[in-house]
Amino acid sequence: MTRRLVVVGASLAGLRAVEGARKAGFDGPITLIGAEEHLPYDRPPLSKAFLDGTAEPPFYRSEAVLVGELNVDLMLGTPATGLDPRQRVVHAGGREIPYDGLVIATGANARRLPGAGHLAGVHTLRTLDDAYAVRRALDAGARTVVVGAGFIGSEVASGARKRGLPVTVVEAQPTPLVRAVGAAMGEACSDLHRAGGTDLRCGVGVEALEGDGRVERVRLADGSVLDADLVVVGAGAEPATDWLEGSGLTLDNGVVCDATLATGAPGVYAAGDVARWFNPLFGRHMRLEHWSSAAEQGAAAGTAAAIPGSAKPYETVPYFWSDWYDTRIQFVGVPDAEQVEVALGDVESGRFVALYRSGDRLAGALAVNKQREIMKFRALIARRATWADALGFAAQRREPIHQGAR
């Protein structure tokens, strides 16, 4: 009997699942179910080039390619509402869609500020529709307040400053990005905001968003009031697992999977921002919200779900990048370190690599405007390099100081 592959979530991981299955030779029927009306599109540009005002929507593939070449049955604008792994059916659009192999790729939803939903001009930035709304407000010259100095909020601030607009970033923690890059490097990244002309307020929470139908002011816990036409909430994201409640899958900060991305239910795999899988390289479960792992996991899960017996462990050194002002920030590995040391360049020059030590191993590396270096440190982490080896390698990469140079 022909095997049927169903993929839920029509974004990066879902698309790569489809492409991975076809590339591996699967020629059975594939159904791609997506909650959004749009064809799959790329999210990173939404907080970068797309906000500048001219970029086209970053669709990955045309409908002609998806339907004509990849032979996919597209169900867009149709959120899946349930999964029954015993009957092997997905519920969506009032129908039961049967599968033999299933990939769950429903990603994550942006966290909202409680109680702010009624005001126009308050947005998160997760979807293309969100990005259109934020871009329209910037086109109109909005005074912008960003709530949360994470990567996406910081990119929005940087986009607004590029247009010469006033921006304030409000961060409840005393230092931004502590969980992502650690305290010292979070502080170094904050300086980019100050240099870029963004008013960064740390260690203060938002008390209320105020306005008559539309946001006009942001009241902070220290009593200060910021005038605003646009508020972008960058408060992180939560895995989109609501539709899986009651399915019997293990849900714990994502869909819990083994090293092969298998959920434990027959034929069911998960990939991308929604998946919390066991990463053998670090010996623990991880859920990443990074482009490269979503793409790779999608391909791996699509192949595994389509072709029984083909599943392989997937391991990776986490990698993400972010663009602030004219600076590219890149991080590889994990930031939970006992020591952080700037090993190449220096923070003051705005070009450096900082290394993160855990035990006697290199655990992570942060590169700021050092694009040519970062993947070398990623390879060292993948090889389980010791801290001493990593420092030795960095020393070799340092630019020589010319003797006698004046």
- Interface residue list for ligand FAD (CB under 6 A): 8-14, 33-36, 43-44, 46-47, 79-80, 105-108, 125-126, 152, 240, 243, 272-273, 289-291, 294, 320-322
Q: How many whole angstroms separate alpha carbon 126 and alpha carbon 232?
A: 11
**10 Å Cβ neighbour count for 297?**
30
Residue 244 gets which letter from DSSP? G
106 vs 279 by CB, closer to ligand FAD: 106
Least Cβ distance, residue 294 to ligand FAD (angstroms): 4
220 vs 294 by CB, closer to ligand FAD: 294
Least Cβ distance, residue 163 to ligand FAD (angstroms): 17
Least Cβ distance, residue 372 to ligand FAD (angstroms): 18
What is each CA distance from 354 to 181, 294, 378, in whole angstroms? 10, 25, 12
Residue 343 gets which letter from DSSP? E
Least Cβ distance, residue 98 to ligand FAD (angstroms): 16
Instruction: Find how far residue 286's CA is from the centre of its chain.
Output: 13
217 vs 328 by CB, closer to ligand FAD: 328
243 vs 377 by CB, closer to ligand FAD: 243
What is each CA distance from 323 to 38, 80, 168, 306, in whole angstroms? 25, 34, 18, 36
49 vs 204 by CB, closer to ligand FAD: 49
Three-state DSSP state, 106: coil
Least Cβ distance, residue 37 to ligand FAD (angstroms): 10
Using alpha carbons, select from 137, 143, 151 the residue that is nearest to residue 168: 143
182 vs 298 by CB, closer to ligand FAD: 298
Least Cβ distance, residue 324 to ligand FAD (angstroms): 10
Least Cβ distance, residue 271 to ligand FAD (angstroms): 7
145 vs 220 by CB, closer to ligand FAD: 145
Check: CB of residue 247 under 8 Å from CB of residue 82. yes
Q: How many whole angstroms separate alpha carbon 223 and alpha carbon 245?
A: 41
324 vs 387 by CB, closer to ligand FAD: 324
Q: How many whole angstroms separate alpha carbon 60 and alpha carbon 58?
A: 6
Q: Which residues of 98-126 are buried (b: 16+ CB within 10 A; e: fewer)?
A: ebbbbbbbbbbbbeebeebeebebbbbbb
Q: How many whole angstroms separate alpha carbon 162 and alpha carbon 52?
A: 8
Least Cβ distance, residue 387 to ligand FAD (angstroms): 26
Check: CB of residue 170 under 8 Å from CB of residue 147. yes
